[in-house]
Amino acid sequence: QVQLVESGGGLVQAGGSLRLSCAASGRTFSMYAVGWFRQAPEKEREFVAAISWSGGSTNYFDSVKGRFTISRDNAKNTVFLQMNSLKPEDTAVYYCAAVRTLAPRVVSTRNEYALWGQGTQVTVSS
């Protein structure tokens, strides 16, 4: 069973950058599509970005396009979310999620994901 652990969150000023990491245990992580989601207080968890298990396909929520970049290093069992030009509205707990797929595809729907990390807090001050 794959387990996910996020790290890299913190407090940053608007316009700053953070890089989140999602480290996975298990030898078959390379066969998992991975997504990042976020949840702000009193709001539903929303999709942020996703990447196929090959890394060849990605998808982003419109509000983060051009600012966030998702990538993965399967040799290190890690997926990254580089976040630049951060805005106060990006403040949330960020979660990574994974689901095994038979073919390399992007999964952008929350309900498709079977595995979730515990989350890491990102706070952007104005």
In tens, the pLDDT along 22-61 reads 999 876 788 899 999 999 999 999 999 999 999 999 999 9
Tell me the CA distances in angstroms from 55 to 40, 48, 104, one per residue in order.
27, 16, 8
pLDDT tens-place string over residues 61-84: 999 999 999 999 999 999 999 999
* Bridge partners of residue 39, in order along the sequence: 93
